[in-house]
Structure 1
Amino acid sequence: MGSIDRDISGELSLEDAVNLLSGQDFWRTRANEVLGLGSLKFSDGPNGVRGEDWINGAPSVAIPCGTALGASFDAELISKLAGVLARECRRKGVHGLLAPTMNIHRYPLCGRNFESFSEDPLLTGLVAASFVNGLQAQGIATSPKHFLANEAENGRRWSDSVIEQRALREIYLEPFRIVVEQADPWCIMTAYNSVNGSFCSESQNLLSILRNEWRYNGAVISDWFGTYSTTEAFNAGLDLEMPGPTKFREYNKVLEAMKRGEVQKDQITGSTTRVIDLLRKTGRVGEPGFPPPLKAEEPDYLNDANSRLLIRKAAESSMVLLKNERDTLPLVHRNTTLAVFGHHATEPSLFGGGSASLKVPYSSTPWDSLSKTYRNATLGAGVVVNRLVPLPIESGLHIENITLLWYNADQPSPERLFHSQELKDTLYMLVEHAPDGLLDRSDFCTSMKFELVAQKTGSYNLSLSGPGSAKCLLDDRVVLDVERDLNVSTEDFLFDRSKLEICRDEPLLLEAGRTYRLDVLSWSSKHKAQNVNREFFIQGCRLGLALACDDDIALTRAEKLAETVDTALVVVGTGTEWESEGFDRLSMQLPRRQDELILRVAKACQGQTIVVVNAGSPIDTSTWIDEVDAVIYAWFPGMEFGNALARVISGEVSPCARLPTTFWDTVKARTHYTANPRGPHISGPSLLHPLVGAQIT
C-alpha cells in the first residue's frame, strides 16, 4: 500500500481537508489522488450487500433479519454471518457496510423493527458487537445506526424524541455504549430525528457522550441527507456528510463560517484525521499520486456450500416455537398427508423493505422444501397478501422487449430523445445514476413501451405509481391517467409506493393468447421546497398489472383440501410492502384475510394445524392461536428459509430460539410512543414475553 503511515493530515490544504468531509456521490467519499487517498464505497444493508444499484444490481446473499439474529442469542453464529457479508463486500468493491441497525423495539408498529435486534439494550449491544467484530476482522467498516432514538419511521426527519435522562442512558444509549466498548466500530451513523430538541447530527450533548465519556475515536457520519447545517454539525462533531455532492460543506460556505468564528480550524483537523483513519483501516490509502483503485462489482454472488450452510443454520437457529400441543411437532412421519397453504408458501418474504431490500440469487421456498421432504404433500390455496398490484412478470404475464425512452422535454418527441434502455420489468427508478444526456432531473418525461400476452382470459387489475404524473395507453387507448400536484414526497417512491399507487376503477378485460401493446408515459416531479436537502429526490414510474383474484373462492378451496389431510400447514406473514424503512406499520394484524385463512383451515382440518409466521416483527396472534396446534415464528429468515423450515418441521433440528421482543396484546391509539403525540400506544397485557419458547419433546 505504500507509505500509509505518514501524517497525511499535515499535507492537506484547508480546501483539501474540507473536501474529505463530504461525499463524492451517492455511495462514495471523495478521493484525493495527489495524496494517494482513494474513495471509500459504502453499501446497504443490514442483511446483505446490495451494492450501488437499487433495482437491477448484482445479486447478493440474504442472511436472516435483525430480529431473527436477536432471537438466536448466538454471538458466534452472528460473527460468522458478518464474515459472509464481509466477503460479499469485497466481491462488490464495498469498503463500508451501512449496518448494523441497533435501535430499540420501543414502538411495536415501527416499520423498521425487523432490522433491529431486540427491545433489550444488553442483547442489542452484544449482538451488534458480534456483527461489527465479524466484519471489521476482515477489513470492512461498519456503521452502527441510528444514533439515536430513531424508534419510529413516520416523520423521522422532523420528529423530536423527548426522553428523560435515565431512560436515555439505560435504554437508548446503552447498546451503543456496549458496541463501542466491545467492538470499537470504525464509524457510527447519526439518526434523522431530533433528541430533546436537537437534531442528532448536530447534537453536542449526544456526540459529547460518544467522544468524551466513551472515548470513541472513530468517524461519525450522517445518515443519507441527514445533515441539516454547516456550523451546528461541525460544532457537534459530525465528521462526514453523506451522500455527495455536499449540501452544507462546500468549501466557500465552510470558509465563510470560519471567518465568522463559527467553525474552528481544529474542528476541521479533528474530523479530517478521523476520516483519514477510516480510509487507512479500509485500505484506501496508497502512495502519493497512486490512490487504491475502485473495484467493479462482480456479477455473481458468493456461491459456496459453506456460506449456504451457514445461512441455513442461522435461519434454523432463529425460529421460535410459540406453541406445540398434542406433540404436533416434529412431524416425523414422512408418509403423512400434508397440505401447505398460504401466499408465503411459494412466495416467502426473505427480508423487509428499504435499506434491507436485496436482489437474491435464489429463494428456497417452504413449498419447494416441504414437498421434497413429505412425498404426500399437496399445495393448497392462499389469499392475496400484496399491498400493491403486482408487477406483470410477477403475475405470470408474458412480456417482451420493455424499452424505456428518455426525453428532455415535457412531451415525447424524436428530436428531444437522449437515451434508450431495456428494462427487466415495468419499473424504473432514478436515485443516484442519471442517464447521460439528462439536462434536469426535475424536467423530463419517459415512455415505457412493451408488448404482453395474457395467459388467461379474465379481469386484470391495473395501477400506476410514481412521484410524477403518468398515463397508460393500451393499444393507443388511454386506460389510466394520473395527475400529480407538488404535494408529494418523492422519497415515498423508494420506500412506500402504496402512498403513490393509483388503481384503475374497473379491471381490464384481457383475452388469453392475444398480444397487447402498452405505452406508459411518465413525467418528472418537482422537489418540494421543504424536502430539499432533507430527503432522497427520487424519480420513476411503476406499472402494476395482475389477474384479479377471488379470495372467497380461494378460501373455499382451502377448506375442502384441509378436510382431506392429516396435517395442514399454513404459512402467513408480511413483506416489504408492509414492513419497511420509511413508514410504520398500519396495525399488528396480518395483512388482508390471512387470519381468516388460518381459522377456516384449522376448523376444516380434522387432524393437526401448524402455522408458520414469516414476518419481521410481532403480529397479533390472538384471533387464531387457540385454534391451532403448533406455531413457529420464522421472522424474515433469508434465502435458505424453505430448507431451514423443512428441517425444523421434520425434527432434523430443534427450534431453540427465544423471542427477543414482546408480543403485545393490543395497540391502542392514545399516547406518546411515536413521533405523533396522538399516535399508537401500547396497552394491555403481553401475550408472549422475550425469552419465551415452547418445547419439542
Structure 2
Amino acid sequence: MTSFFKRTLLACAVAGVSACGGSNTTSNTSSVETAFTDRNQNGVMDDYENPALDVTSRAKNLISLLSLEQKAHLLTGTGFQLNNVGGSEKVPGAAGSTFAIPELGIPAMVLADGPAGLRISPTRDNDTGSYFATAFPIATALASTWNTALVTQVGDAMGEEVKEYGVDLFLAPGMNIHANPLAGRNFEYYSEDPLVSGLMAASIVNGVEAHGVGTTIKHFVANNAETSRMWLDAHINEQAYREIYLRGFEIAIEASQPWAIMTSYNKVNGVYTSQDEVLLETVLRDEFGYEGLVMTDWFAGDSAPAQMQAGNDLIMPGMPDQRQAIIDAVNNGTLLETTLDRNLQRIVETLLKSPSYNDYAYSNQPDLDAHAQVARQAAAEGVVLLKNTNHALPIQSDTKIAAFGNTSYDFIAGGTGSGDVNEAYTVSLVDGLNNANVPVFEPLKEAYTAFMAAEAAKRPPKKHFFELQSPLPEFSVPEALLSDAVEASDVGLITIGRNAGEFQDRKLDADFNLTDAELSMIAQVSAAYHKAGKPVVAVLNTGGVVEVASWREHVDAIVLPWQGGQEAGNALVDVLTGKVNPSGRLATTFPLAYSDNPTATVFPGKPTSEETVKDPYIGLFVGKHMQFDYVDGIYVGYRYYDSFNVPVAYEFGYGLSYTDFSISKVTVLPSENPAEFTIKAAVSNKGKLPGKEVVQVYVTAPAGNLPKASKSLVAFNKTASLQPDSTEMLTFSVTAKQLASFSEQQRAWVVEAGDYTFHVGHSSQNIAQQVTVNIPESIVVEKVLATLTPPAPVAEISPR
C-alpha cells in the first residue's frame, strides 16, 4: 500500500496547509468487508476512498475535506517551465499537471498536448531510454479521409500511448473552423464544416477514451486567428455563432461526451470565453448537456475569480497570483466558496476516474510499431488526388523518378508548437520511394542534400520551442543537372512544402501563394519534362490551403498528402504506386485566389489600440487589442462559394480516384417525425481498379424568413473497398436539427415549412441525384436558453 501522510493536525502542519477542514464522512464497513486504499492513513474508509460508491458522492466527500487553500490549489495547475516546455515531474515534456494533495492521498493528474499525437519529451535526464510518440496525420488530413471508423482507430492508438506514458488528460482534439485559409492553426483543426468537425472530433474522443484516459476538445470557441490571440475580440452574430462555430462542439459532445473542454484565448462578443458564464454554464452545460470539466488554455483570460464564477473549472498552467486571487475573492465575499465547490466537483470526478488516481502501472512501452501502421493507413486514406491528366498516376514500380523541391527530401510531418510531436523518425517522399524500391535519380538527390545541409548550418538556433523558423531557400537546379534528370528518369516529382504553428498566422506572399523560386521551378521542370514527352507530378506537403490556379496547368498531376505524420512518405508512395487507391476528399475549399475568401479584407482583425501588450507571465505572447468581425456570417467555406456563385479551384468534398464511381437509386424515406429522414443510395465501381468512395448529402432548404446557404452538408458516408463492377448500398440519417436554422427572433432552431431538396453526390458541386421532400408546417426543433449577441450587430454579407 502506498504510504501517505496521516490526516492529523500534525500532518496538516507539516504539509504547510492552514487547515484540513470539512466533515469526516466515513463508510459503514461493519457488515461488509470492502477492499480500499486508505489514502489518508486514518484507519477508516472515507466515502471518497470507497470504490463501491458513485463518483458524485465520492467527489463531494473529498471536497468537504479540503481547506480553502487546498481548493485553490486543485482549481489551478502547478505552473509552467519554458525550457522543459511543460510542467510535470512525472512525465517530462507534458504540458502541465494538477496539484497533488499528499495528506489526503490525492495524486496529480498529468496533462499533455496533442492533437497529432502525444507531445512529451523523447529523452530524459539520467535515462538512456527513449520516449518517442507516434506522429499521426494532422487533423485536416484525418478529416480528408471522411472515415470516422478509421479516425476512431487513430484515437485508439493515441489513447494507448497516452495511458502507457502515464498521462491522464490528452489536450486534443482541436476542432475550430477553417474560416480563413491563413489561420495559423488550421492544420490542428478538421474542416470548414461543423458536421465534419464534430464527427471527426468525436471519433478521436471515443477512440482515446476507450482506454480510460481523457480527451480535451478545444478551443471553445472561435479560436480562428493566432495574431494577438490573447487580446482578440471576435464579434459574431448569433445565427452564425450557433450554426457554424458552436455547432461542431455540440455535435462532438452529443456523440462522445469528452472528459474535458478547453476554452480559447480570445474574447467573443466582448467577453473572454473562459470568463463567460452564459457560454460555459447556460450554453455548454444547460443547452448542450456537457458533463465534464472545463479548463483554460495556458495563461488565458485576465481574472481567475471571473473564470471561477463563469464555470471554467481548472486554470492552466496555474500561477501563484491566480490562487491567491481566488482565496482573496472568497474571503472578501466577491466569490462564493460554493462556486468553487461546484467547479471542484467536476475536477474531482475526473480525477477519481483517472489512471493516476487508480494507480495504473503504466509501462512507458506503447506499441509504437503497430501505431505506425495505423498512422500510415490513415495518412494514405487522407491523400487527396486533385489532378490526374492522361493517367499520369499511378506510376509503375520500375518507373524512374527524379525528385525536385527541398521538401521531397525533408518531409514535414506536422505543424509546430503545442501541436508538434516528438516522433522517432519522419519518412520523406524520397525515403518512401526507396522503401518501395522505386528508383530515384541519385545525382539530384546528392545535390539537394548538400545544398540543404549547407543552408541549415547558416540558420540561427531557435529562440524557443514555439518559434516557427523560416524555410530554407529553394534549391535552384542547374540546367545541366535538370537535363540529366530528364534523361535519366521517367517522371519528375515536385514537392512544395509549407509549415505553420501557433502564435502567428500564415502570410499571403510566399506562403499561401507560392514563391517566385517555386513557380520558376515548376515552370522549368515541367517544360523540360514535357519537351521529352514525360509527365510531372506536383506534391503539396502542406498543413493548409495554398494557391494552385496560377500553376496547375504546368503539371500533369497534383497530389495533396497534407502533413501525414511520421509515415507520410510511405503513405504517399502507397498512393503514387497504386498500392492504395486515393479516396481522400477535401474537407476545406481551395479558392482560386485568397481575395475570393469573404474574410480576406478583415482577417485577422483590426487593432482597437496601437498599444503593444505582452502576457505577464512568460513574455512570449505579444500583440495588440484587436477586433475581428465575422462578416461572412453563416456563409463560411463552401456555403459562401456556392451561395454567391464564386468559382473555386477545388470545391469542398472534391477528390479524384484511379477508378470511377456512380451513385444511383437514391431514396428518401420519411419517419414519424416529419423533419427526420433516412436516405439510401447505391454506389457502384464502374472502373477497373478497387477503391473507396465518399458519398455526401447536402440539403437546400426553402428560402423562408431565415438566411440559409444554398447547400449545407447534413450527412456523409464512405464505402468499403469496392471491387470493379460491385455495388454497396449506403444509408444516411438526417435529423430535424440538421435541417434547422437558428432564429434569433424565435430563440429557437426552426425547420421552416417548404420544399427541402437533398443533393447526393461526390462533392458540394458534383451532385449525382436530387430528391425533394415537402415539410408542410414549420417546426420548432429546440428552444435555447441563452442570448449570444455582439455589442453591436455585425454587418454581414448576403446573397440576397
In the superposition, the TM-score normalised over structure 1's length comes to 0.73
Looking at structure 1, the residues matched to 113 and 105 of structure 2 have their Cα atoms a distance apart, in angstroms, of 26
CA distance in 2, matches of 1:242, 1:88: 23
Match of 2:141 in 1: 68
1:22 aligns with 2:96: no
Match of 1:361 in 2: 424
Q: Which of 546, 569, 575 is the matching residue for 1:642?
A: 569
Answer yes or no: is 1:51 the counterpart of 2:51.
Answer: no
Q: State the AA in 2 paired with 1:696.
A: Y
Equivalent residues of 1:331, 1:650 under 8 A apart: yes
On the 8 A contact 1:573/1:590 being kept in 2, the answer is no
Is 2:505 aligned against 1:569?
no
The one-character-per-residue Cα deviations of 1:358-396 (angstroms, maximum 9, x if unpaired) are 22112222112213435543146489999xx98xxx659
Structure 1 residues 54 and 248 mapped into 2: Cα distance closer, same or farther (>3 Å)? farther
Q: Is the 8 A contact 1:62 1:358 kept in 2?
A: yes
3-state DSSP of counterpart to 2:385: strand
For 1:303, give the aligned amino acid: L
3-state SS of 2:240 partner? helix
How many pairs are equivalent? 543
Aligned to 1:144: 217
Question: Structure 1's 191 and 592: CA in aligned 2 closer, same or farther, altered over 3 A?
Answer: farther
SS of aligned partner of 2:231: coil
Question: Cα offset for 1:569?
Answer: 1.4
* Cross-structure match for 2:353: 281
Check conservation: 1:120, 1:660, Cα contact below 8 A. yes
User: Aligned ranges for residues 402-551 of structure 1 at < 5 Å?
Assistant: 461=458, 463=460, 466=463, 493-496=464-467, 498=469, 551=475
Aligned-pair distance for 1:181?
1.0
Whether contact under 8 Å (1:315, 1:640) holds in the other structure is: yes
Partner of 1:218: 292
Corresponding residue number in structure 1 for 2:322 = 248
Q: What is the deviation of 1:550?
A: 8.3
1:380–1:173 Cα change, 3 Å = farther
CA shift digits 1:27-79 (9 cap, x unpaired): 11011122222100011110111225799983211100000001001111111
CA shift, 1:566, in A, is 2.2
Q: 1:571 to 1:380 in 2, by over 3 A?
A: farther
2:526 is aligned to 602
Per-residue deviation, residues 310-367 of structure 1 (Å, max 9, x unmatched): 11110110000000110111113x3333222221222100011111212211222211
The 3 A distance-change label for structure 1 pair 330 and 602 is same
- The answer to whether the aligner puts 1:674 opposite 2:572 as a matched pair is no
- Report deviation, 1:308: 2.3
Aligned residue type for 1:629:
D
Percent pairwise identity:
32
Whole-Å separation in 2 of the counterparts to 1:649 and 1:497: 30
| 1: CA distance, partners of 2:327 / 2:447 | 57
2:626 is the alignment partner of 1:696: no
Which residue identity is paired with 1:38? P
- TM-score with structure 2 setting the length: 0.64
Shift of 1:637: 0.2
Q: Deviations over 1:643-665 (max 9, x none)?
A: 11221111111010100001122
Q: Is 2:662 the partner of 1:687?
A: no
How far apart are the structure 1 equivalents of 2:605 and 2:448?
28
Number of the residue aligned with 1:624: 551
Where structure 2 has 5 or more consecutive residues not aligned to the other structure, the ranges are 1-35, 38-48, 80-86, 88-95, 608-626, 632-636, 660-800
Whether the 8 Å contact between 1:46 and 1:101 is mirrored in structure 2 is yes
- 2:381 corresponds to 1:317: yes
- 2:108 counterpart residue number: 39
Compute the displacement of 1:179 (Å).
1.1
CA drift of 1:88 comes to: 1.2
Shift in Å, 1:265: 1.8
- The answer to whether the Cα contact below 8 Å between 1:342 and 1:381 also exists between their aligned partners in 2 is no
Q: What residue in structure 2 maps to residue 585 of structure 1? A: 506
Q: Report the Cα distance in structure 1 between the residues aligned to 2:429 and 2:475, rounded to whole angstroms.
A: 21
Measured at CA, do residues 76 and 197 of structure 1 come closer, stay the same or move farther in structure 2, by a change above 3 Å?
A: same
Partner of 1:162: 235
Greater CA deviation, 206-215 or 560-569? 560-569
Moved more, 356-365 or 93-102: 356-365
Q: Equivalents in 2 of 1:385, 1:136: separation in Å?
A: 44
Instruction: Tell me the secondary structure at the aligned position of residue 637 of structure 1.
Output: coil
Judging changes above 3 Å, is the alpha-carbon distance between structure 1 residues 559 and 114 closer, same or farther for their aligned structure 2 residues?
farther
Query: Is residue 146–residue 190 contact of structure 1 (8 Å, CA) maintained in 2?
Result: yes
Judge conservation of contact 1:316–1:655 (CA < 8 Å) in 2: yes
Residue type at the aligned position of 1:335? D
CA distance in 1, matches of 2:286, 2:278: 10
- Give secondary structure in 2 for the equivalent of 1:160: strand
Letter in 1 for 2:311: G
1:104 is displaced (CA, Å) by: 0.2
- Provide the rounded CA distance (Å) in 2 between the counterparts of 1:590 and 1:205: 44
Q: Tell me how far apart the structure 1 counterparts of residues 515 and 415 of structure 2 sit (CA, whole Å).
A: 15
How far off is 1:667 after superposition?
2.0
Kept in 1: contact 2:163–2:355 (CA 8 A): no
1:654 aligned residue (568, 575, 581): 581
Residue of structure 2 in register with 1:344 after alignment: 407
Deviation at 1:498, TM superposition (A): 4.7
Which residue of 2 is the match for residue 408 of structure 1? none
Aligned-partner Cα distance in 1 for 2:559–2:405: 15
Counterpart of 1:232 in structure 2 is 306
For residue 130 of structure 1, report the CA deviation from its aligned partner. 0.6
Counterpart contact for 1:611–1:631, Cα < 8 Å: yes
SS of equivalent residue, structure 2 residue 494: strand
Is the 2:476–2:521 contact (alpha carbons within 8 Å) kept by the matching residues of 1?
A: no
Gap change, CA 1:121 and 1:267, over 3 Å in 2: same
- Decide whether the 8 Å contact of 2:235 with 2:628 is kept in 1: no
CA contact (8 A) 2:586 2:652 kept: yes
Higher relative contact order (CA 8 A, sep 6+): 1
Aligned partner letter, 2:116: N
Q: CA deviation at 1:294?
A: 9.2
| CA RMSD between the two structures | 3.0
Q: Is the 8 Å Cα contact of residues 180 and 600 (structure 2) preserved in structure 1?
A: no
- Give, as a single letter, the amino acid of the residue that structure 2 aligns with 1:348: F
**Partner AA of 1:496 in structure 2:** E
* Residue identity matched to 1:221: M
Aligned residue identity for 1:256:
D
Report the Cα offset of residue 634 of structure 1. Answer: 0.3
- Any idea what SS the aligned residue of 1:144 has? strand
Distance 1:550 1:273 in 2: 55
Structure 2 residue matching 1:109: 3-state secondary structure: coil
- Distance (whole Å) between structure 2 residues aligned to residue 574 and residue 592 of structure 1: 15
CA-to-aligned-CA distance 1:581-626 (integer Å, 9 cap, x gap): 1111112123572232222111110311111111011111122211
Q: Matches of 2:152 and 2:287 in 1, distance apart? A: 27
- 1:80-100 CA distance string (max 9 Å, x none): 111111111123211111100
**Alpha-carbon contact 1:351-1:357 (below 8 Å) kept:** yes
What is the distance in 2 between the residues matched to 1:343 and 1:557?
Answer: 15
**Aligned residue among 572, 577, 590 for 1:663:** 590
1:350 and 1:65 map into 2 onto residues whose CA distance is 8
Say whether 1:330 aligns with 2:394.
yes
